[in-house]
Structure formats: structure tokens, C-alpha cells
Amino acid sequence: MSEPLLRVRDLSVTFPVRGREGWPWARPRPLRAVRDVSFDLAAGESLGIVGESGSGKTTLARALIGTVPAAAGEARWQGEDLLRMPPAARHRHRRDIQMVFQDPLAALDPRMTAGEIIAEPLLVHEPRLARREVRARVAQMMERVGLLPNQVNRYPHEFSGGQCQRINIARALVVRPRLVVCDEPVSALDVSVQAQVINLLGDLGRDLGLALIFIAHDLAVVKHICDRILVFYLGRAMELGAARDVVREPRHPYTRALVAAAPIPDPAIERGRRTAVLEGDLPSPLAPPSGCVFRTRCPIARPSCAAAIPPMQDFGGGHLAACPHTGQAGHGEAPG
């Protein structure tokens, strides 16, 4: 098998947090936002990362692009460890790894026009490019993402939310990257616009051969656009597998709860089905449960779950889940 485009192994991110009392002189405690996460990403593949708010999805993405320091592990980009590179070496790879942020308007400089925003990465990474070529590349990318040529001199406040996100996508793609990290790119948009942006990202990924890391809450959205899904809970990976397998036959109890919580478009089926609700509150990341971090809310938890962190088990076809008791006690297929 060929070497993956991105190989992540045991990646961890830790933040120092002041003591429980909140006093500035209190000794900081470690908040382990991401713990021992591993996955591979092939060229042209799309990986969806799902989980509750605060589970560490965005922190993982920011560690990969270098805006958050990693505490441990490695992220090998074509054989080179991004986490150990000096700033000058890391700069060479920035054009290859771009990011689309969650809030489309906040990610744009209000003092710059759409054309200037999209052209900025070209001026940084290809400073010797002629102005005529820059304008041509910007116009070509605007057309590619569904923006009109006469909008090149408009400012961000003159665009709708969906159009602002298209500008963000154009800015990320204009330098022809190999990987684009999308941090909940449709969560701030109207439902009617979400489908347009999702379809746009899917089409661009297929047409340009891009690898995508797509972060979202909605399993249905991730299943539509991604080849594989990584399920996150409290900074740890719970399940990883082909999108179809994870949604249709989830192996981890947490994934089953996420699938069960997703609404079904058919009102008759939705009214008639029983939805299992997770009990208990999400634990604090400052004091996560011992062993399996999901055990305090797990319907099939056992005393042994508190003793050790369960490793990922392969259920065939690259479908991994961190639960030794899955499929037991009557828990097999996905609810609904």
C-alpha cells in the first residue's frame, strides 16, 4: 500500500488551566483536550470528524494546521512530522494544508474586498506571480465556487453568509492545496444554504482530488460528503470506519446514541420510533473518568470499564471501535 498523505499517531493536545478557585496564583492544571488520537488520510480521501461540542474536534484540526501546539504524538505529512518542524520548514507546507473556518463573516477581513481576500494567499506563497496571473487565478476560482466576476470589488458585509463562506473556500483553494480542513463550515448558515455549500465542497473535492477533513455535528451531513467517519468523545476517538458502516452499523455505544439522535426525514417513521436518550452529564475534561471516558453515560458499562482505557478493536474492513463489550447484552444493530 502507498504511504498515506497524512499519518497521525497518538496526537495529544494539553492546555494549562488555572486552579479550581480561579485565582491567578493558583497552580495550573492540565486540560487534555485531545488524547492519543491516531488515523491515516489518503490523497483524495475525505474524513469526517463528529462529536458533541467540546469534544476536541476543532482542537485536533488546529493542531494539524499549526495554530495550536501539540503536547505529544506525531502528524506525518508525506513522511515529515509537521509537529516537529521549525517555523520556516512549516511555512513551506502551509499552502498544501488550508482551512475553512466555522464563522464565514468573522474569518474575512472587513477592510479587504473579495478579490483581495482570495488573492492574499497567492501573494504570500507565490510572490513572483504576475498581477495579471493573480487576477486570472482569482477570477477562475470565484467562478468555480459560484461567485460572479462583478463581485470581486465588494466587501464582506455586502455578501450573504453563504457567499462569505464561498469566499473562504475560494481563498483556501486558490493556492491549489492537497488537504483542506473544514471546521463546521455550514453550522452558521441557513438550512437552505447548507446543502449548496456541502455539495460545493463535495464537487470540488472530487474534481480537484483534494483530501478533506470535515468537522461537523450532523452525522447525515458527514455521511453525505465523507468516505470515512471518526467519532470523538471527550478528546478521545471512539470509532473509526467507512461512513456507511459507522452510520448503518455503529459499534460503539456513543456512536449508536448519535445515530439514534439524528432525526429521520419521514414524519411517520420519526413519530413511531423510540429514541434512547443518554443519561448523565458530560464529564469535565479537567477530571475525565478513569478507563473509558464514556463509561459514566454508557448503557452497557461494566466495572472493568473503569480499570483501563480500551484500545481500538478491528471489526473488519477497517471498522474500529474502542469498546470491548460492543455487540453484547443485546446491543448489536443501530437503533431505528
- Tell me the C-alpha distance between 28 and 38, whole Å: 27
- Tell me the C-alpha distance between 231 and 220, whole Å: 13
- Tell me the C-alpha distance between 224 and 287, whole Å: 35
Per-residue pLDDT of the chain (336 residues; tens, 9 = 90+): 468 899 999 999 999 887 655 566 677 888 999 999 999 999 999 999 999 888 899 999 999 998 899 999 999 998 889 988 888 888 888 889 999 988 889 999 999 999 999 999 999 999 999 999 999 999 999 999 989 999 999 999 999 988 999 999 999 999 999 999 999 888 777 777 888 888 888 888 888 889 999 998 878 788 888 999 999 999 999 999 999 999 999 999 999 988 887 766 666 665 666 666 677 778 888 889 999 999 999 988 899 999 999 999 999 889 999 998 876 433 444 333
- Tell me the C-alpha distance between 51 and 67, whole Å: 21
pTM exceeding 0.85: yes
Sequence-separated (6 or more) residues with CB below 8 Å from residue 279:
297
